[in-house]
Structure 1
């Protein structure tokens, strides 16, 4: 028989148990008594934030700040609002509209909780980095803005990234606040002067939010922390917005707007806008050229890390209209009729010359470089006429233009002249030539062939395929794109000469040979003679490149030429063929050449010398006839220049190899000295060496290896009148003695 229960008796018992259980639950999980009130209640209770709490309600943030969350609020007190009302002609808080209330509240609100001792730290992906932070991201962002662009209404949103990936959906491009804290200043070596440079009438206290003071820090709340401030801040403009609203910089801004800005339709932004507003407009992202250091409308920093905007910001130095217009008229338009004709890279470089991908503090101004890696060439005390701390960086208005290398060097002579676009393209395409010849701290001479000259030599640039074309004008044979470029690169390197002492300033009335390139990457030698220049290829053909004009710049002279210093195209074996021609024209080379011609290292049909590969720089030390005769008498050479035995042929081959210095081209200019490797290897297959001495216009060669002494064989001195003969990446010298391979000491 089943037992029956009286449920009417059980129900009161269940209610009693539930009541006890709820009390225990609330005691365990309820809000602890020791917690401070949330931000809104704290502000309300303190009594000196009545205006702020009114605006918080008007902005719709009472519920948010009165409950959970994790915020830092830079809260302006009532005294701050009284000053704000007075400055803006407002009688009281009731006259502040909803939109302004929202701006004030959101811009005072920083994501995450930061006590005063944390404000100077940077939340990196690797952890907290002390004393490297001076900015924080706020809850305010501009969002979608309606503007008229080129006469058409558009809904615009700003870029939130730099470069090619210019917009990331979901990133609202929140603005930042900037504060000036003692720990950060100490770490960076900054002083109150860095603060007062921007705010000359304000007092630096060791913790300022913009030009206001933090009057009480670390008011702890359940959902964050409050720092009381004595000034109301509306959201700061970003660099893009400040330029738009200031007519003093309209010329600079027009360069960016006309040539470096596009408005690009974005579907994700359009969808978000339509969902939010219910309207049907398309949304366009204002996109800056990806080659710029940064997009001035991007409120984020580089986003290499999520919070890198805490520790860095942008800097832009912008010339006023008058200074920029003078620069345009006297520099940019020297060879152009109007700005619209300038190549796009000129605009890119000019703007980058005025951008710093970091925050340039006033007292450290000289420590920073612009995006072109140049020092900032402004006097911070006399040239800067306007300075602003903006939402995404520092703005400096200037009475002058950055004195950029690109606009005052020998590079400029091609760069700003449309007749030399081929040379400029090579200089700019990663060859490294641009960085070399645009450095105004080093002196260069360059020889500039025009586009027409290069076209006459068979060169063209296919802009559709973005590749070089070369067709030999003599026989119609064509190079592939890479070979065509390499040919032109080598030709133009023959046109660049490092001249620290103005060695070619008097080229119209002097002659000699000189090495092209610079110290780090030596080029080939060219010959100059009364306004004409030659390389090895010109000498083969009996041609010259004649100077037809010049342009003097701050780091040297650009000479305009009607041909190019051509390298030799008679390869392989070019150097051997040059020695053969020298032996024909100058009998002092003949004895050496006869041994060379009959040796095992020489191909008489091609002129190739065994062991000398394409592109090898060499120095040929050719003993004259008397020196060869002494070498025969001393037993260093067989009597016959065409020996019959293998042993004697080996002796001749080693003699010749020891008179060829590889991987170095030595002249009497003092650029190459010391022990240098020869083509000869010893009986163990080890390298052998010759010592080169060059100074005061003299040049000599002495036997020597690191392991052996040379005995008493005198040095071989070059004979100037018959030396410095050009060959493929080589010089050939006639000398008055032979080089004797040192015998190891017993």
Structure 2
């Protein structure tokens, strides 16, 4: 026993040693440094001998250890020749420590990547081919000297999010490159590159103004990848930095400043004191979320952690002359009568107009020079400018800047909505349209409208007002009624010409399905015609403001109202006397089981639903009596109507006849717009509706066909009672009756 145990122990230890030796060998083979792996970035550049200036910058910047140790970097290294050119072009004899730091940090991007990978967007879901043209560099700005909104000198740090600042984010600048895979995939060309870099030659291997040196790309190092470039790259300014230093944009910059807030940040104040040894309050400069983006934000939207690789901002910055010209012609056009003569004063009384003006020049996407006409801005407009209007162009760290000599003509100002948006006499109408969400179509250039303007004084007289102090319900008054009234004042044109309101006549369908008539410079709606004051039964048109973009604004002093009367009351209006055009029809209606005398209600007619009443002439009713479709007094051949039948079959005849002459769920008029099949109120035992067909519809002719293929004409003469407006309904006189088959 004493001998066996030591022998066992020796054997056991020998096996452990052998296994350990084998495992170490496998570990070294798997995890050990490969024999063919190049030296670290610093040592490789040092060995090449043509990067002494760049390595001198690395030393001054304190990055020698970083580029000599483990890590994963991509470095765009400029040659000594590139530095010689840079020093000469900038009239320098040496590189300062501060400049050296900028050059080195901007030449370094996170993660070692070969050229082939730089065009791929590294999303949270993996690489997306050919979708990247930027990478985040090591460089970022820290605290700088600035001024607050009152002009006081303060220490400032730029926002790193749109509308906010996050202390844990350094707001690193990105480097922009123009590589063939991305450019080809996105149908971009040398022209897009040379627009920004006219003195550089494009070859699809361009890093900013520099080019990758042929044969000196993808140099693999222990701690990353080296790409040799032929120019020294320095970090460009952000949009905010650039526009703040250019006097040509000082007026537009002043408008941007109206949306800036400076907020004390204790974390950065402490960090600043630790790094500099100086105590100071540091304020984060943030732009309001009312703007499309923060011009000082070096990050992108942050929908994806790395989305700045595939996207950037764009700004069309109007020069001072461009802003002034547009302000006088457009923005201040209506406000001058109120004593508002400059943009600062306009901001006080109408900040949303200034906001819209600024946002019309901001794009949350990359606008390439060849894509001006296809890239929408924050307001969803395509730019109205061309490359010929560009007087300055910059590929900046967080996007492209185009200095323009003409301001963007935004749709919120140039469309029919602009008449409402800019005129202070129509502010209640504007706010109500915004509240009800009725502005989008009006400011869409491709959609054409006539808008009948309602002055503030009129709306207030009707009991409507706008009070911003009631944030949740700023529109005061009967909201259901106001919405219906507003929609009646919005008239889609489609492809039709703007009507001749001054001397012409016609009928137009409003956006809510109700109709408006015009004749000889006056407008009429179902509500105005019911006025007991003759002078108020129509609205005189004072003037018409046309826009080449999408329609016209019609000005008057009153509003187009709707009627609260039941439809039967408008039939009764022309059906009381035997000589009235609707007399026979109304008498049958009044004596039918469909009619409620106390209220004037018609069975089957529902509030909020649209209808068309086709009323045969008195003679046509007599003919229907003779043909046996309506009950008679005495022999049918005599054609004497029996307006109060008691026989069950006769009662049913009357109901069916009336129901077949009422079109359900739709109104149509002689405007050339609607043709085809329409359901009537009449239904068979299975619940299927009997139909009629509008076969001809022009401004001078309206023809309807019944199920037996008989056609009738709507009488459109000056003395005929057609296109009569009612409560979500239109009433027509027809020259014959419609015949049903069940």
TM-score, structure 2 normalization = 0.89
Alignment counterpart, residue 593 of structure 2, candidates 596, 600, 605:
600
Shift of 1:134: 0.8
In structure 2, relative to structure 1, the CA distance for the partners of 1:272 and 1:490 (3 Å cut) is farther
Q: Deviation digits for residues 489-521 of structure 1, max 9, x if unmatched?
A: 22122222234677665323333322223xxxx
- 5 Å matches for 1:459-498? 459-466=464-471, 484-498=478-492
Is 2:290 the counterpart of 1:291? yes
Is 2:209 the counterpart of 1:214? no
In structure 2, relative to structure 1, the CA distance for the partners of 1:680 and 1:325 (3 Å cut) is same
Is residue 37–residue 220 contact of structure 2 (8 Å, CA) maintained in 1? Answer: no
2:248 partner SS: helix
Alignment counterpart, residue 167 of structure 2, candidates 169, 174, 177:
169
* Rounded Cα–Cα distance in structure 2 between residues aligned with 1:635 and 1:82: 107
Is 2:503 the counterpart of 1:506? no
Is 2:536 the counterpart of 1:538? no
Is 2:455 the counterpart of 1:455? no
Q: Which runs of 5+ in 1 are unaligned?
A: 4-12, 472-478, 705-709
* Rounded Cα–Cα distance in structure 2 between residues aligned with 1:559 and 1:597: 40
In structure 2, relative to structure 1, the CA distance for the partners of 1:45 and 1:648 (3 Å cut) is same
- Give the corresponding residue for 2:582: 589
- Give the corresponding residue for 1:344: 351
In structure 2, relative to structure 1, the CA distance for the partners of 1:326 and 1:609 (3 Å cut) is same
- 5 Å matches for 1:503-582? 505-517=499-511, 523-542=513-532, 543=536, 544-554=538-548, 555-570=550-565, 574-582=566-574
Is residue 491–residue 509 contact of structure 2 (8 Å, CA) maintained in 1? Answer: yes
- Give the corresponding residue for 1:261: 260
Is residue 319–residue 401 contact of structure 1 (8 Å, CA) maintained in 2? Answer: yes
* Rounded Cα–Cα distance in structure 2 between residues aligned with 1:27 and 1:653: 98
In structure 2, relative to structure 1, the CA distance for the partners of 1:355 and 1:430 (3 Å cut) is farther
State which drifts further: 212-221 or 658-667: 658-667
Shift of 1:264: 3.0
- Give the corresponding residue for 1:223: 223
In structure 2, relative to structure 1, the CA distance for the partners of 1:439 and 1:458 (3 Å cut) is same
2:70 partner SS: coil
- Give the corresponding residue for 1:202: 200
Is 2:94 the counterpart of 1:88? no
* Rounded Cα–Cα distance in structure 1 between residues aligned with 2:609 and 2:680: 12
State which drifts further: 493-502 or 24-33: 24-33
In structure 2, relative to structure 1, the CA distance for the partners of 1:739 and 1:392 (3 Å cut) is same
Is 2:596 the counterpart of 1:618? no
Is 2:364 the counterpart of 1:357? yes
1:508 partner SS: coil
1:636 partner SS: coil
Alignment counterpart, residue 698 of structure 1, candidates 696, 701, 709:
701
- Give the corresponding residue for 1:181: 179
Is residue 77–residue 228 contact of structure 1 (8 Å, CA) maintained in 2? Answer: yes
* Rounded Cα–Cα distance in structure 1 between residues aligned with 2:297 and 2:247: 21
Is 2:384 the counterpart of 1:377? yes
Is residue 536–residue 726 contact of structure 1 (8 Å, CA) maintained in 2? Answer: yes
* Rounded Cα–Cα distance in structure 1 between residues aligned with 2:192 and 2:726: 60
* Rounded Cα–Cα distance in structure 2 between residues aligned with 1:201 and 1:417: 48
Is residue 487–residue 510 contact of structure 2 (8 Å, CA) maintained in 1? Answer: yes
Q: Deviation digits for residues 160-199 of structure 1, max 9, x if unmatched?
A: 2225xx2333121110001111111111122212111111
* Rounded Cα–Cα distance in structure 2 between residues aligned with 1:528 and 1:230: 72
In structure 2, relative to structure 1, the CA distance for the partners of 1:263 and 1:217 (3 Å cut) is same
Q: Deviation digits for residues 192-229 of structure 1, max 9, x if unmatched?
A: 12111111121112201111111121011111101111
Shift of 1:317: 1.1
- Give the corresponding residue for 2:299: 300
- Give the corresponding residue for 2:429: 423
1:436 partner SS: coil
- Give the corresponding residue for 2:712: 715
* Rounded Cα–Cα distance in structure 1 between residues aligned with 2:555 and 2:143: 53
* Rounded Cα–Cα distance in structure 2 between residues aligned with 1:115 and 1:99: 29
Shift of 1:598: 2.3
* Rounded Cα–Cα distance in structure 2 between residues aligned with 1:448 and 1:669: 22
Q: Deviation digits for residues 328-348 of structure 1, max 9, x if unmatched?
A: 112111122222224122122
Is residue 120–residue 132 contact of structure 2 (8 Å, CA) maintained in 1? Answer: yes
1:252 partner SS: helix
Q: Deviation digits for residues 534-554 of structure 1, max 9, x if unmatched?
A: 211111124233333443332
2:703 partner SS: strand
1:726 partner SS: strand
- Give the corresponding residue for 1:34: 36
Q: Deviation digits for residues 669-715 of structure 1, max 9, x if unmatched?
A: 111111012222222001221101312511122113xxxxx15x342
* Rounded Cα–Cα distance in structure 2 between residues aligned with 1:489 and 1:594: 36
- Give the corresponding residue for 1:55: 57
* Rounded Cα–Cα distance in structure 1 between residues aligned with 2:646 and 2:284: 83
- Give the corresponding residue for 1:46: 48
1:351 partner SS: helix
Q: Deviation digits for residues 298-319 of structure 1, max 9, x if unmatched?
A: 1111111111111111111112
- Give the length in aligned residue pairs: 699
1:220 partner SS: strand
Is residue 192–residue 368 contact of structure 2 (8 Å, CA) maintained in 1? Answer: yes
* Rounded Cα–Cα distance in structure 1 between residues aligned with 2:589 and 2:283: 74
Is 2:239 the counterpart of 1:239? yes
Is residue 178–residue 193 contact of structure 2 (8 Å, CA) maintained in 1? Answer: yes
Shift of 1:266: 4.0
- Give the corresponding residue for 1:6: none
Shift of 1:157: 2.0
* Rounded Cα–Cα distance in structure 2 between residues aligned with 1:170 and 1:596: 78
* Rounded Cα–Cα distance in structure 2 between residues aligned with 1:470 and 1:577: 32
In structure 2, relative to structure 1, the CA distance for the partners of 1:595 and 1:277 (3 Å cut) is farther
* Rounded Cα–Cα distance in structure 2 between residues aligned with 1:158 and 1:467: 34
Is residue 722–residue 733 contact of structure 1 (8 Å, CA) maintained in 2? Answer: yes
1:536 partner SS: coil
Alignment counterpart, residue 687 of structure 1, candidates 682, 686, 689:
689
- Give the corresponding residue for 2:327: 328
Is 2:405 the counterpart of 1:399? yes
Shift of 1:278: 5.6
Is residue 447–residue 495 contact of structure 1 (8 Å, CA) maintained in 2? Answer: yes
- Give the corresponding residue for 1:649: 651
1:722 partner SS: coil
Is residue 432–residue 466 contact of structure 2 (8 Å, CA) maintained in 1? Answer: no
* Rounded Cα–Cα distance in structure 2 between residues aligned with 1:78 and 1:23: 47
Is residue 538–residue 565 contact of structure 1 (8 Å, CA) maintained in 2? Answer: yes
Shift of 1:624: 1.5
1:396 partner SS: strand
Is 2:676 the counterpart of 1:671? no
Q: Which runs of 5+ in 2 are unaligned?
A: 4-12, 633-641
In structure 2, relative to structure 1, the CA distance for the partners of 1:715 and 1:268 (3 Å cut) is farther
Is residue 135–residue 175 contact of structure 2 (8 Å, CA) maintained in 1? Answer: yes
In structure 2, relative to structure 1, the CA distance for the partners of 1:52 and 1:684 (3 Å cut) is same
Shift of 1:605: 1.7
TM-score, structure 1 normalization = 0.88
Is residue 313–residue 357 contact of structure 1 (8 Å, CA) maintained in 2? Answer: yes
